[in-house]
Structure 1
Amino acid sequence: MENIDCLKEAQYHAWFHHHDADGWITIAKKTKNGFRQYHYHPTELAHKLTKWIGEDVYFSQNTFYKPFRRLENIRQLRALYVDIDSHLFNFEPDWVLGKLDLEFFKTVLPEPNLIIFSGRGIVLIWFIEPVPHQALPLWQSIQNYFVEQLKELGGDTKAIDAARVFRIAGSVNSKNGEVVSAQYRHDYRYRLRDIQQEYLPELTPSPKKKGRKPKILQLHNIYRLHHSRLQDLIKLVELRNYDVQGYRELICFLYRYWSCCVLQDTAEALRHTLELNQEFVKPLPENEVVRATRSAEKAWEAKSDKKANEIARSKGYPGAGYNLRNSKIIDWLGITREEQEHLATIIDGVEKRRRNTEYQRTKRRKHGIQKREDYIKQQHDKTDDKLFKVKELLEQGLKQNEIAQILELSKGRISQLVKELKKV
């Protein structure tokens, strides 16, 4: 394929995927020194591709609100995907695709929008209606489900994070010289909730059902906790204007650990951690970050180790890995009461109670319930009205039990009101 044709193929692929996107799109090229990355807005992407097309060119499937390809910077989640490394099982890509068409699409999984033939395998891409990063826990749960269904065909469980890049059509896979191509099937965008309801209903179990939560729901909740803590850590760094001297090692350690939990990819977690460190006002030396946070990666690996979990439970822990209490994190990082007001999950009991009080107050306002002073005044007005009615009926010669029936009040309440009238 000539260079001009390769460029057109790449430009069309990028347009088909991102023509209505919002945010930064990452273009990456693999070099001897790792990935070389740049970030572009959708309107300039096609033009910039002229400088990139060639061997091992990738682009991000989702967009970022600032030019850093990290999970916490996600602006729009725009696609779901599964990278199938069919060559690991000696499956031909065409055979895998035929099996998917016959046995998976529209039954186990929805039909993908496009299929990338990456040179040694295939990547399935499902477009979704763009959603913000707050939908990441649901998005990740669906990602996990999709790749789990395709593990027997070579589905890569490490290539499922939201910051992932894949090869772009028209580029060349340097491992075998194959030109990457794309098969375009349809341009319909799925809704995450529709996919959930049709393929993962266990994410929303009936509240009437008791007992152990489904495994997918448990993973969904655990992922949401780790992701929220990761977001809180970044928020804390932002609140301190990236001047975190005295806390840099600990922040990098926690960031690397929670990134491993969320990304399920130790190499990506380390890359993200090193990139975050470079944003500090005074970054740590790279080798110091790697050394100081290495145990975070080992702890994450232990979480998936059966023996390590058994040993941890025998010692009274919930399991292997770091099961940190909020109070411990708050103490380690010196998080103030004011800072906690901006965080989602790393908060203490006082902040929880404050939020609950505010929530209940807002709820009362929403349902038209007045402030306490207004409520008391209103009750007095109601009592005065009843007193007037009782007085009027007594003057007509009615007895208390008759007045109770007319006003639909208890005899005891009428007796109280009569006593009030005698005091006036």
Structure 2
Amino acid sequence: MSATDTHTSRASHAVLALLVGGYASIFLGRQIMAVMIEPIKLEFGASDTAMGLISGLAFAVAYALMGLPAGGLADRHSRVRLLALCGVIWAITTVICGFAVSFPMLVIARMLVAVTEAPVTPASLSLIADLYPARNRSLAISCFTAAPTLSAIVGLSLGAWVIDTWGWRTGFYLIASPPLLISLLLALAVREPERGRFDNPLHGNAPALGLWRSARQLLGNAHYRKLVAACAWFSFSGLAFAMWNTPFLIRSHGLSLQSAGILAGVVTGCSAALGGLFSGWLSDRLNLRSQAWLLGLPLIGTLVTLLSLLLYLVWPPGIAFQIGAVEVPTAMLWCALMGFFTMWWVAPCFNLLTQMVSPRQRATAVALQTICTTLAGIGLGPLLTGALSDLLLPWAGDESLRYALLGVHLTLLIPAWLLLQLYRQQAFAPQQALQGA
């Protein structure tokens, strides 16, 4: 590695800013569904289970089916052009969601949106690995992965106001335009960086494997499988919470749609964004001392998240203070603490993942990880939470959603156990993982 490769340029930061903006714009389409649940449910007469389907499983299945081919495309073709094309098609399919005249039509439209999103994460993270060296990569990844939390602030707060004022269809129309501008900038102003510029030359010069051969090689790595499984369980819990937190505040704390959306977006979104960025910054610094922190930080974050989340869900109704017309329940203090630690796993785990594989396997590796996290998080998390809420309704009444969320989030013990296993097996040593340990 040359001396010039040990630092990053302003151009890298500019490209990262575009990737963050594009990811935030696209992820807004997922976040805004949380404040659309109640109005869509009312218009189409859907159950909580059906809403879990449209906000979760239907989207996740389409995303998963396209995930691996999308990763293969990003490993073999220009990632910049692929992202630009995805942004344009995503905007078109999102507008179609707003034109839906029946529940089945809306489900199909959401599945089309999922297909266009499939290449975004693997292509973007593969690009980031070629924009930043490993020692600076956690912070760059945390900037990218903070995009969903930033979009949550807009989607749940401003989105709640838009939907409450003009209806849920208008929400889809408005969020379709930003990705078009990002796509134009990517197509006209960004060059494709050299693959593997910060990697060991042996791995950087490795030829691209066939899609299925590459996938089999990755899945044959025990450390990679456990890391992906941990990420999937994190997403199962996190996406279930993100999708049902607004209805929870409405049902269990008696808040209006607008107040619940603002609190869920601003409190959780801001604290998660700050926590994710802080963990990325801290990970880069601790990583210089020991790579073990790439697993240690997520483990600490998971345990604090679980404790604060359980306290948030069991805390009785009661208003701590009021900001303007928005009443803030006392429980939101625990929600803010949970939000700060809930993203501590993302940047360190993704950094570790990018070091486990060769440059021409990165997009496929991220795609496989994203397939699992999408199926578990977007697919099963909201759906099973809604189904469990319906199941508990005869026993718990209006508090059925509270108990459903409690049951779902106890599963955070599983990724904590997986991370502890990886820590003991020294899976943070990339040279061992590359050998298929």
TM-score (norm 1): 0.29
Greater CA radius of gyration, 1 or 2?
Answer: 1
Higher relative contact order (CA 8 A, sep 6+): 2
Q: Higher helix proportion, which one?
A: 2
Q: Higher strand proportion, which one?
A: 1
TM-score (norm 2): 0.28
